[in-house]
Amino acid sequence: MLIASTRRARRTALWGTIAAVFLVGTGVGSVLPILPLFLRERGGSYAMVGVVVGANLVAQFIAQYPAGRLSDRVGRAPLMIGGLVLAAAAIAAFALPLSIGWLIGLRFIQGLGAAAFRPGARAAVADLVPEGERGIAYGWLSGADMGGLIFGPALGGVLAVFGRAVVFEVTGLAMLLAAIVLVFALDVRRQAMTSPSLAGPVAASGARLASVAAVRGLVMLSAGIGFLYGVYNVVWSLFMKTIGATDWEVGLSFSLFALPLVLTAPIAGWAADRVDRRWLSAGSTASTALIAPVYPLLHSVPAVIGVGVIEASTAAFAEPAINAYLMSAVAADQRGRAAGTVGTAETAAKAVGALLGGGLFGLGVWVPFVVSSVAGLAFILLGVPWLRAAGRDARVSPVLAASARG
């Protein structure tokens, strides 16, 4: 009975975390297509749009590693819940008649909240799920995030009809609701939960060097994809406008990009538990970088959306593989720290991409896409030697992993 109760508590915590990620994704997704247009209406230049978007990412760069390390010591729940409340207040304040300078500060505060939430969410899944099932669990986590990005942009486009400030108010409510879900799903008094440690790169080799190599390799992959998406966050809505897209079509492009990511999430998770996670993650991220230069060659909204669907279908395999491989490579009491390290690299690259994206777009519509593609591929190639050195993580049968919990 005690075992059944423990399993039930873990399932509740896992699905509560996934639900919170969906709500956060919905909030973030509703803002993504609106924020650059909102800032342009406030008189912000292309470069200033990049600064405001980048402020969030700079804050995440500063805070993710210490937040992840702290979650290893005090537990996941306090950091995750507190971060969401802080982010909710900051983003809702965008509805106020504030200057661009204040908006930069609010985006920075929102980034601090996100930094407290993200490493804890990644590490919490590994705390709750045994090694052989983590790929599929991270697939559901990624699917929830992308599901939010399907619903969010469409919601943002609808809400913008009533005024773009309304989008920020609803986003704040979504993040606050996510915090409430976690209050009920997680035990805020409990230290970081751990499941039995099964075979992985560290256990198989008995060498700490394998763990270090794995983290460094994943840092490179995450930096590559982070830079590309940082640029996209700034220039995508602007690019869509140059080919004649309406606000509704801009939001639709975000949603239809996210849809394949959701639909393929179970397959991506299944693959991450069975295929070499190193090359699955590297190949998936490389496909995104290779497709980027195609967009400026297109001048039709349907064509751009169609290529986006193809890109998303291949990109879906990256996140579950990266997260599952990372958590198999580090000790249980280092999960938050490892997630914070990789997350810091990703958000640092996103921040640089966002800060440069507006200026690159000003040089020409094609420039940001080509530059981000080259940079992304360079980072991925730098990561390959580290991944080779780390070795392949052990594949654990889901049936055996499930029995290990009993």
Strand, coil or helix: 307: helix
- Quote the crossing angle between the two packed helices 247-263 and 301-315, to the nearest 10°: 30
- Per DSSP (E only), the strands in 153-226 are none
**What pLDDT, on the 0 to 100 scale, is given for residue 61?**
82
376 to 156, 216, 268, 293, 326: CA distances (angstroms): 29, 16, 21, 12, 20
State how far the Cα of 224 lies from the Cα of 372, in Å rounded to an integer.
8
Token pair recorded at residue 396:
């654990």
Specify the residue for token string 């992304």: 376
State how far the Cα of 43 lies from the Cα of 52, in Å rounded to an integer.
13
Residue 316 DSSP symbol: T
Token pair recorded at residue 386:
């580290």
Specify the residue for token string 């309304």: 166
Q: Domain 2-188+199-395: give its CATH code.
A: 1.20.1250.20
Residue 164 CB contacts under 8 Å (≥ 6 apart), including other chains: 34, 37, 38, 41
Kindly tell me the burial class for residue 318, based on how many C-beta atoms sit within 10 Å of its own C-beta (0-12, 13-18, 19 or more): buried
pLDDT in 10s for each residue of the chain, 406 residues: 434 447 777 888 888 999 999 999 888 878 877 777 777 777 667 677 778 877 887 888 888 889 888 888 888 888 899 999 999 999 998 888 878 788 889 989 999 998 899 888 888 888 888 877 888 889 888 888 878 877 777 777 677 677 777 888 888 898 999 999 999 888 654 544 444 444 444 444 444 777 888 899 999 999 999 999 889 878 888 898 888 888 778 878 877 787 887 888 888 888 888 888 999 999 999 999 999 999 999 989 999 999 998 998 888 899 899 988 998 888 877 888 888 899 888 878 887 887 788 888 888 889 999 999 999 999 999 999 999 888 765 333 333 333 333 3
The dihedral built from the CA positions of residue 41, 47, 49 and 51, taken in this order, carries a sign that is negative
Token pair recorded at residue 174:
């979504």
Residues 181, 350 contacting (CB under 8 angstroms): no
Residues 205, 330 contacting (CB under 8 angstroms): no
CA nearest neighbour of 92 among 78, 80, 110, 117: 110
State how far the Cα of 69 lies from the Cα of 53, in Å rounded to an integer.
26
State how far the Cα of 71 lies from the Cα of 69, in Å rounded to an integer.
5
**What pLDDT, on the 0 to 100 scale, is given for residue 211?**
83
**What pLDDT, on the 0 to 100 scale, is given for residue 406?**
30
- For the chain, domain boundaries: 2-188+199-395
Residues 224, 383 contacting (CB under 8 angstroms): yes
**What pLDDT, on the 0 to 100 scale, is given for residue 296?**
92
Token pair recorded at residue 319:
């996140």
Whether this prediction's pTM lies above 0.75 is answered by yes
Token pair recorded at residue 116:
């407290």
Amino acid at 159: L
* Segment 44-95, tens digit of pLDDT: 676 777 788 778 878 888 888 898 888 888 888 888 999 999 999 999 988 8
State how far the Cα of 215 lies from the Cα of 390, in Å rounded to an integer.
9
